[in-house]
Amino acid sequence: MRPLIFAANWKMHHGPTAARAFLDRFLAEYHAADGREVWFFAPAVSLMTVASATTATPTVRVGIQNVHWEATGAFTGETSVAMAAGAGATAALVGHSERRHVFGETDAQTGLKVRAVLAGGLLPVLCVGETLDEREGGGTLAVVRRQLDVLRGLDAAALARLAIAYEPVWAIGTGRNATPRDAAEVHAAIREQLAGLGATADRLQILYGGSVKPENAAELVAEAEIDGVLVGGASLDPASWLAIVRAGGD
């Protein structure tokens, strides 16, 4: 059984003070459950705060939202994998749609970042997904396959150390989301492609992201192909996030 992952992406919210207050409220009511993990992708300035607050909670993982692929250098404003790890991160988002579509990150750059994150001992979560135009043009699977192709050349051991997040761009922050069945079909296609690249398909963890809310989280994670959710706006409030983390549980 693959564990269910409930990953919060705080984006540019919750500096250290706000992060501490959030976790005080969240951890006071959070109860660990077998087969479930909670991940926090916090702003870089809040990593140490989140890591310190959750160090005694083994079912919680801390991640960074973005890294540079170089180890050091004249890259003002960037964060290396080693810096993220030193601040407490054990995972890193790579290729989030905002990095691709707001900041112009390319497939080639996401490939470099995946390899840097793996080399640095962190778990990369590679984000893939199509725009509304691409979806309406029938290009969903072609886009996702192209974005996954950056993993070509990695061996089975490396592929086993990463996760994928399918985030249809048209569903992020819009209130619209793919139906659980639609999402599951794309997840199955992702699993098939990665199996073709040499991954052990039944061990791959594939998350869904895109307007996930307490109202739809349980239905999403009930799909066998969906191994959890990557959540933006609804993860910013402790009560909302607790409701999602408990989705579909006993």
The pLDDT value recorded for residue 127 is 98
Look at residue 250 in the predicted model and tell me its pLDDT: 54
CA count, 13 A, side-chain hemisphere, 227: 22
What domains sit in the chain, N to C, each tagged with a CATH number?
Answer: 4-245 (3.20.20.70)
Q: How far apart are CA 219 and CA 212, in angstroms?
A: 10
pLDDT at 248: 77
Would you state the pLDDT for residue 171? 80
31 is catalytic: no
167 a catalytic residue:
yes
Q: Name the one residue in this structure whose structure tokens are 């191994």.
A: 227
Check: CB of residue 218 under 8 Å from CB of residue 247.
yes
Out of 14, 68, 96, 187, which one is annotated catalytic? 96
What does the pLDDT look like over 114-152, one tens digit per residue?
999 999 999 999 999 999 899 889 999 999 999 999 999
- Please give the C-alpha separations between residue 13 and each of 10, 45, 149, 199, 232, in angstroms, as whole numbers: 6, 11, 31, 35, 10
Q: Residues in the chain with pLDDT < 50? A: none
Catalytic, out of 98, 130, 167, 225: 167
Give the helix ranges, DSSP H, for the chain.
16-29, 47-54, 81-86, 97-101, 107-119, 132-136, 140-148, 156-159, 180-196, 217-221, 238-245
State residue 122's pLDDT score: 98
Residue 75's SS3 state is coil
Listed residue (3, 2, 6, 4) closest to 212, CA to CA:
6
